[in-house]
């Protein structure tokens, strides 16, 4: 059944692509027609201009949407930070997370004093993207 | 005069436009709903493809992690596929008396079965890795079931061409996708053994008990006797750094019974779902047993506190579903420090010096030691 879904999606994608190309060609033709009519001072030039620009906008939008869809198919791995601190002198070391790390894990002696290095924090930082939302407090 | 209004002028272009608009109007009258349905089906199809991708990735991650940490002699793929299809049948609730214990028994059997299966799949894995692998497989199984349910409604909707079947799934799809994305990040966190947002409560308890003697209590739980603000605190959490939530309800019950009910207060710390608009890592205080899950542990805690009339306080750390099951956010990690201070303040305000109290940090202890 899942193959059927994939097939339908693939078929749909190629149909969408053909439709986009057809609309694009037709709208460009309409714009060219508008240019020719403009030279002959024909009053219907406005219609062709309207059709041409609407078609152009529509096909560009559809193309953009298809591209965004393809980009969305990834699983992002956020960077995870491990903070190691010496319990005696406070020496701090920040590095990327490694398999086997856990909070409160003792990692051996400190390089500066006789204290013990320990993982004090493991977290991911989330960068806020996009425009700030209106917050009702 | 009036009919003339409905007809265009003499030029052919006006006629063409008029015909197109009339045709569109007629098509919309008869096929409007069907077009709307196809648009919805298309939307569900897109989401279903993404769900399938996430489900397959989850399965791949689970198999890869088992191969890496468990060093199996045979290919674990078949067993993993079997695991993803496991079902748990809840007890019959027509006569609800005693259902808590029936449910607890079913859940215990399920967990033992899961652990045994993981041990078979990954013979070289230690206790911590077995717990992490079990959590990884459970997240993969959750993704599998989400995908299958959406696929069921999608196919059913297409078969029956019922707008209402398609519409109900399309309406809740954004929420389902959010949940699926959350499980996908959980899967990665579990496979690497990273602390997750849900472990905020366990982390608060770990910070309070660090440096004190711990002992195992109940299934997968540890307790430490900690002198705190002139009081004696029994700090309880699930044993880390492997991924498990333990049985904190049972552990609290044991400590209460051991002290003959002479407990001045119980303070529970847990992560709780925030509402949209609230900031992740916000702290809220209240009363009651702050614990999620199927309800069996909450029931036990409530039974114990009722028997001895023990006041129970809750400190909750707010986060959304995505944050709860994905690697711990900095805001939530920082909030655990605030929660420690809040717990100390509650102790000072609600108890007297010399009292005995219980502090229970609830949540998955993956990536959190003690």
For residues A48 and A89, membership in a common domain is answered with no
**Is residue B75 predicted with pLDDT exceeding 50?**
yes
Least confident of A11-20, B162-171, B322-331: A11-20
Least confident of A117-131, B69-83, B270-284: A117-131
What is the DSSP pairing of strand A80-86 with strand A116-124?
antiparallel
Residues A25 and A65 in one domain: yes
| In a shared domain, residues A86 and A59 | no
- Could A136 and B241 be called an inter-chain contact, meaning their C-beta atoms sit closer than 8 Å? no
Same domain, A9 and A52: yes
**pLDDT in the model for residue B218:** 75
Would A136 be classed as within a structural domain? no
- Pair (A52, A112) in one structural domain: no
* Rounded Cα distance, B349 and B329, in Å: 30
Q: What pLDDT, on a 0 to 100 scale, did the predictor assign at position A132?
A: 64
In a domain, A59, yes or no: yes
Which of the four pLDDT bands, split at 50, 70 and 90, describes residue A76? confident
Confidence of residue B38 (pLDDT cuts 50, 70, 90): confident
pLDDT of residue A33: 86
- What pLDDT is recorded for position B10? 64
Give the pLDDT mean for B314-333. 92
Are A5 and B154 in contact (CB < 8 Å)? yes
Contact A78 B195 (CB under 8 A): no
DSSP string, B308-324: HT--EEEEEEEE-HHHH
| Closest chain A residue by Cα to residue B50 | A73
Q: What is chain A's mean pLDDT, rounded?
A: 80
Taking only residues 120 to 159 of chain B, the set having a beta carbon closer than 8 angstroms to any beta carbon of chain A reads 151, 154-155
pLDDT tens readout for residues B225-256: 999 989 999 999 999 898 889 999 999 999 99
Asked, for residue A137, whether it belongs to a domain, the answer is: no
Domain boundary among A26, A48, A71: A71
- At A47, is the pLDDT very low, low, confident or very high (cuts 50, 70, 90)? confident
Q: State whether A67 and A20 are in the same domain.
A: yes
User: A71, A94, A116 — which closes off a domain?
Assistant: A71
Q: Is the pLDDT of residue B272 over 80?
A: yes
Q: Do A11 and A66 belong to one domain? A: yes
Whether residue A43 is found in the same domain as residue A104 = no
Count of structural domains within chain A: 2
Range of the domain at A64: 2-71
Residues B332-351 have a mean pLDDT of 94
**Same-domain check for residues A8 and A48:** yes
Does residue B141 surpass a pLDDT of 90? yes
B284: tokens are 């809220």
pLDDT tier, A60 (very low <50, low <70, confident <90, very high otherwise): confident
Is 0.90 exceeded by the ipTM?
no
- Across A37-41, A63-67, B189-193, B358-362, the highest mean pLDDT is recorded for B358-362
Give me the percent of chain B exceeding a pLDDT of 90: 64
What confidence score (pLDDT) does residue A1 get?
47
Q: Which of A48, A124, A128, A136 to mutate: most B Cβ within 10 Å?
A: A124
Does the domain at B197-361 match CATH 3.40.50.10260? Answer given as: no
Neighbours of B239 (CB within 10 A): 23
For B329, which of A72, A77, A124 is closest by C-beta distance?
A: A124
Residue B290 in contact with residue B268, Cβ under 8 Å? Answer: yes
Question: CA of A112, closest CA in chain B: separation in Å?
Answer: 22
* A80/B327 Cβ within 8 A: yes
Greater pLDDT, B267 or A41: B267
> Is the Cβ pair A124, B327 closer than 8 Å?
yes
Position of tokens 């088992």? B66
Taking the C-alpha atoms of residue B131 and residue B149, their distance in angstroms, rounded to an integer, is 27
**Domain shared by A55 and A87, yes or no:** no
Question: Do the chains contact at B45 and A77, CB–CB below 8 Å?
Answer: no
Name the residue ranges covered by the structural domains of chain B: 34-192, 197-361
| Cα distances (angstroms) measured from residue B241 to each of B127, B138, B183, B238, B287 | 10, 18, 20, 9, 29
| Full-model pTM | 0.82
Is residue A133 assigned to a domain?
A: no
Residues A45 and A90 in one domain: no
Chosen domain end from A51, A71, A91: A71
């Amino acid at each position: 059944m899942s193959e059927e879904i994939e097939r339908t999606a693939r078929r749909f994608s190629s149909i969408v692509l053909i439709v986009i190309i057809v609309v694009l060609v037709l709208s460009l033709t309409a714009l060219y027609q508008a240019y020719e009519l403009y030279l002959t001072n024909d009053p219907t030039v406005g219609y062709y201009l309207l059709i041409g620009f609407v078609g152009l906008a529509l096909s560009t939008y559809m193309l953009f949407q298809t591209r965004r869809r393809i980009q969305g198919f990834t699983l992002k791995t956020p960077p995870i930070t491990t903070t190691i601190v010496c319990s005696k002198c406070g020496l701090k070391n920040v590095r990327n997370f490694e398999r086997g790390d856990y909070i409160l894990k003792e990692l051996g002696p400190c390089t500066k004093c006789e204290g013990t290095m320990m993982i004090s924090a493991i977290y991911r930082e989330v960068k806020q993207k996009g425009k700030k939302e209106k917050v009702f407090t | 005069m009036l009919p003339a209004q409905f007809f265009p002028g003499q030029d052919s272009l006006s006629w063409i436009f008029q015909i197109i608009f009339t045709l569109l109007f007629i098509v919309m009258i008869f096929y409007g709903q069907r077009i709307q349905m196809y648009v919805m089906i298309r939307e569900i199809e897109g989401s279903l493809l993404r769900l399938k991708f996430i489900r397959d990735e989850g399965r791949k991650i689970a198999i890869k992690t088992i191969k890496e940490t468990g060093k199996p002699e045979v290919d674990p793929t078949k067993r993993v596929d079997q695991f993803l299809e496991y079902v748990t049948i809840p007890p019959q609730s027509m006569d609800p008396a005693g259902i808590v214990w029936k449910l607890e028994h079913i859940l215990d059997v399920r967990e033992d079965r899961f652990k045994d299966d993981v041990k078979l799949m990954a013979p070289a894995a230690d206790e911590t890795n077995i717990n992490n692998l079990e959590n990884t497989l459970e997240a993969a199984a959750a993704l599998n079931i989400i995908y299958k349910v959406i696929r069921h409604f999608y196919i059913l909707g297409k078969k029956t061409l019922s707008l209402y079947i398609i519409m109900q799934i399309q309406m809740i799809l954004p929420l389902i996708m959010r949940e699926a994305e959350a499980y996908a990040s959980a899967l990665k966190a579990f496979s690497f053994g990273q602390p997750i947002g849900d472990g905020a409560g366990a982390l608060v308890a770990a910070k309070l008990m660090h440096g004190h003697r711990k002992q195992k209590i109940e299934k997968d739980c540890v307790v430490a006797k900690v002198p705190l603000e002139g009081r004696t605190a029994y700090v309880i959490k699930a044993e880390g750094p492997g991924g498990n939530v333990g049985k904190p309800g049972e552990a609290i019950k044991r400590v209460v019974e051991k002290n003959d009910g002479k407990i001045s207060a119980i303070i529970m710390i847990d992560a709780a779902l925030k509402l949209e608009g609230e900031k992740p890592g916000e702290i809220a205080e209240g009363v009651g047993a702050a614990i999620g899950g199927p309800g069996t542990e909450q029931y036990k805690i409530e039974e114990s506190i009722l028997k001895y009339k023990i006041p129970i306080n809750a400190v909750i750390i707010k986060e959304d579903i995505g944050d709860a099951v994905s690697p711990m956010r900095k805001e939530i990690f920082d909030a655990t420090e605030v929660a420690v201070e809040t717990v100390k303040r509650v102790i000072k305000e609600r108890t007297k010096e010399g009292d005995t109290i219980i502090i229970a940090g609830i949540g998955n202890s993956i990536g959190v030691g003690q």
